[in-house]
Amino acid sequence: MLKQPIQKALNEQIQAELYSSYLYYAMSAYLESKGLPGAAGWMRVQAMEELTHADKLFKYINDRGGRVQLAQIGAPGAEWPSPAAAFEAAYNHEVSITERINKLVDISREHSDHNTYNFLQWFVAEQVEEEATASEVIDKFRLADTGGGGGMFMLDRELATRAFVMPTSEKG
Ligand code: OFO
């Protein structure tokens, strides 16, 4: 059985992950409007991955006999100063999500909830990747910017290759 403060914190994290998805879908739409279908596709895959993060928390709360309670998700905005700025905002958002995950881990320790502590280790590792991938794309945008229009075209083609892979535990 989940303790109340843990359940509350996990529910808040579901909301944060769903907001991440909503934000990345908004960024995808923005990138599409800027004539960058590859970057838009990359961001759409990111948005889909965030849904699987929310789903992981959803399932965990239920598995522990808790109660999922969904809250309102705020509007993510629709415009950024440039495509590179959208990726910078995505990176900054991931840094804030890492802080949230770290706080969740702290709460699980405060309540000696070893199951939740263990469960959260997946998210701890995932956040390293989330920050790194966003940061890599920002670096590529900087390089592409120096290469004129051709550099951006090549980068967009590269970003188009990212595919969504359904995590094994969420299949079926
Ligand atoms: Fe769910 O990792 Fe990004 O937000």
Of 105, 111, 100, nearest in space to 16 by CA? 100
- Considering only the top CATH level, what class is 4-159? mainly alpha
User: Which residue's CA is the closest to the ligand 1 atom numbered 3?
Assistant: 94
pLDDT digits (tens, 9 = 90+) for 113-162: 999 999 999 999 999 999 999 999 999 999 998 766 789 999 999 999 99
Residue 168 reports pLDDT greater than 80 = no
Pocket mutation for ligand 1, best pick of 20, 129, 170 (most atoms within 8 Å of C-beta): 20
* Cα 127 to averaged position of ligand 1 atoms, centre (Å): 7
124, 101 contact by CB (below 8 A): yes
pLDDT digits (tens, 9 = 90+) for 62-77: 999 999 999 999 999 9
Q: How many other C-beta atoms are found inside a 10 Å radius of the C-beta of residue 67?
A: 9
The domains of the chain are located at 4-159
Q: Give percent of the chain above pLDDT 90.
A: 91
* Per-residue b or e along 39-58, where b marks 16 or more CB atoms closer than 10 Å to that residue's CB: bbbbbbbbbbbbbbbbbbbb
Position 147 scores a pLDDT of 65
How many CA atoms, within 13 angstroms, populate the side-chain half-sphere of residue 106? 6
9, 107 contact by CB (below 8 A): yes
